[in-house]
Amino acid sequence: METTELYPPFTVGVDLGGTNTAFAIVDSVGHIVATDSIPTRTPTVEKWADNLASRISRMIADNRLEGLVKGIGIGAPCANASTGCIEAATNLPWPSPIALVNMMESRTGLRTVISNDANAAAIGEMTYGAAAGLKNFIVLTLGTSVGGGIVCDGHLLSGRSGFAGELGHVTFPFASDRLCSCGRYGCLHTIGSADGIRETARRMLAESDEPSVLRDIPQKEMTPKKIQIAARDGDRLANLIYEFTGRCLGKAAAEFAAVTDPEAFILFGGVSKAGDLLLKPMREAFLEYALFLYKDRVRFLLSKLRDADAAILGAASLPLSI
């Protein structure tokens, strides 16, 4: 860190995952000053909050940043920005709802803002990443689940209960034969998530006799990354898997464009590491399917948040913007 100039104000970004809680002090342009983590699996949420609050306070003191930290941002599944609570998060070990904002503000004296992962990613891209300067864009997070963060006219859309941008649960005919974890058929989640890609691979391998290095990988061990490596090595089926996925995302983007008129779609998360393997068919399908008003006006970008820190940076950006 010695050679990096830092720009106040600082914020603390917290990525609350099912297993670990990672956090960092971040400056206003996205430099990470210090990082730490604690286990999420503690007997009670109060214990976890006590631990997190004391570690954050110590980290601020160790870096001599007392009085210079503007707030804490927490990205978590099912976090409702308007109530300050986590509602019905199935991957956390504590009963819901969890009044996270109150718990952290009372323990640290720092203003705390929470948001779901995809919305945090959208604010992160706008603050430090690929959406710098953009006022109308949609972030699609393609990972364990598919989420959306929509910025329209410079505002992150929250909606009545903080559930705007659930783009993983918009349904499409191209997925009408895929059952989603939400109990419905056709959700974009069933195509663009890691499980979705895995299922596409399973189907394509079953429907064809074509040789593929993917045939040597047991279904349980199939990952987006392995398919990406195979595709880059020229494996035709692996390429077709991403082409199918990209085209589905492009058709979906054509519909989303008519709702909020964005200037860009930004892909975030593990599945998006396929890069052009995904962006090229996405762009092509968008041009085929979008209403004329939106054609040729929309860009398709990859997240510019550094891989390992993306979730923390998204969270850290929240107190700067909300």
Span from 39-47, 202-210, 250-258, 306-314 in contact with its own copies (CB under 8 A): 250-258
Classify the C-alpha dihedral 12-79-262-299 as positive or negative.
positive
Q: Nearest Cα to 167, choosing from 186, 188, 195?
A: 188
Strand ranges of the sheet holding 146-152, from the earlier edge strand across to the other edge:
155-156, 146-152, 137-142, 264-268, 299-302
83 binds its own copies (CB under 8 A): no
Cβ-based nearer residue to its own copies, 74 or 157: 157
150 binds its own copies (CB under 8 A): yes
Site map for its own copies, 181-220, x if CB under 8 A?
-xxx------------------------------------
Q: Say which residues have a Cβ less than 8 Å from residue 164's Cβ, sequence separation at least 6.
A: 150, 157, 158
Q: What amino acid occupies position 32?
A: I
Taking the complex as a whole, the smallest distance from the CB of residue 126 to its own copies amounts, in Å, to: 14
Taking the complex as a whole, the smallest distance from the CB of residue 223 to its own copies amounts, in Å, to: 27
Site map for its own copies, 45-74, x if CB under 8 A?
------------------------------
Q: How far apart are CA 302 and CA 210, in angstroms?
A: 31
Taking the complex as a whole, the smallest distance from the CB of residue 89 to its own copies amounts, in Å, to: 13
Work out which of 19, 161, 208, 219 binds its own copies, going by CB under 8 A.
Answer: 161
Taking the complex as a whole, the smallest distance from the CB of residue 102 to its own copies amounts, in Å, to: 22
What's the CA angle centered on 164, arms 162 and 169, to 5 degrees?
Answer: 120
Q: How far apart are CA 9 and CA 188, in angstroms?
A: 38
Q: Nearest Cα to 108, choosing from 50, 41, 40?
A: 50
Applying CB under 8 A, the residues found at the interface with its own copies are 135-136, 148, 150, 152-153, 155, 157-167, 169-171, 173, 176, 182-184, 255-256, 258-263, 289, 291-294, 297
